Amino acid sequence: MTQQSAVLLITFLAGLVVAAILLGTARRNVLSRSAMVIAALAIPSWVIYFASNQGRSFLAAKGFLSTMPDALWFGLTFGVFTAAFFLALGYVYGDARRRQMPAWAWVIAASLIPNLIGFILYFLFRGPLLCPCSSCGKPIRGGEAFCSHCGSSQGSSIGRITADSAQKGV
């Protein structure tokens, strides 16, 4: 195995791990179907491109070997990383919608800001998860003792203690 094939194998496996982690979030209904479809089409699309004469001539022009096994490794590696990228964008979109943030703005920022800085910024600045109030149903921050809209207690022990002491006049 050449050094180039070993590097491609390692990056392919790293990309598979990233894609598997992101697909694990699909169980929580965070990833959209479109992101999963694009990710599923990315791998065979890149493999077909690099296996074609045009893809192998592109590899040869860049100084890489243009044999079929090398072309398939390049196709698999590019496909897995493309799939992981679109799965990550799908996660940002679904998570931003779940947190009632501007989802498309964050997807555009994550995709256009280079070197994964857009994704890092999203995770630094994302808002908290909102839960519905048990009384009025309006979204409030998770863990709050009282609803900021209707003022009702949210059932936590701290909220009950505070509500009890307020009723006793303490």
Question: pLDDT, tens digit, for every residue of 111-162?
Answer: 999 888 999 999 999 888 777 887 787 878 777 778 877 888 877 544 444 5
Q: Measure CA of the first residue to CA of the last residue in the chain; give whole Å.
A: 77
Digit-coded pLDDT (tens) for 104-119: 999 999 999 988 899 9
Q: Is 100 in the same domain as 121?
A: yes
Q: Residue 165 pLDDT > 60, yes or no?
A: no
Q: Is 144 in the same domain as 92?
A: no
Q: Is 85 in the same domain as 31?
A: yes
Q: What proportion of the chain, given as a percentage, has pLDDT over 90?
A: 16
Q: Is 53 in the same domain as 113?
A: yes
Q: Is 62 in the same domain as 25?
A: yes
Q: Is 97 in the same domain as 85?
A: yes
Digit-coded pLDDT (tens) for 38-90: 888 888 888 888 878 888 888 888 777 667 777 788 888 888 889 889 989 99
| Residues spanned by the domain of 166 | 128-170
pLDDT at 160: 45
Q: Is 20 in the same domain as 66?
A: yes
Look at the pTM and tell me if it is higher than 0.75: no
Q: Is 169 in the same domain as 106?
A: no
Contact status, residue 91 vs residue 31, Cβ threshold 8 Å: yes
Contact status, residue 76 vs residue 47, Cβ threshold 8 Å: yes
Q: How sure is the predictor about 8, in pLDDT bands with cuts at 50, 70 and 90?
A: low
Beta strands in 23-166 (DSSP E): 130-132, 139-141
Q: Is 122 in the same domain as 136?
A: no
- Cα-Cα-Cα-Cα torsion 135, 147, 125, 80, nearest 10 degrees, comes to -20
Q: How sure is the predictor about 168, in pLDDT bands with cuts at 50, 70 and 90?
A: low
pLDDT at 66: 65
Please state the domain count of the chain.
2
Contact status, residue 99 vs residue 129, Cβ threshold 8 Å: yes
Rounded CA-CA distance 148/138 in Å is: 9
pLDDT at 31: 80
List beta partners, residue 131: 140
pLDDT at 157: 44
Q: Is 17 in the same domain as 90?
A: yes
Q: Is 140 in the same domain as 61?
A: no
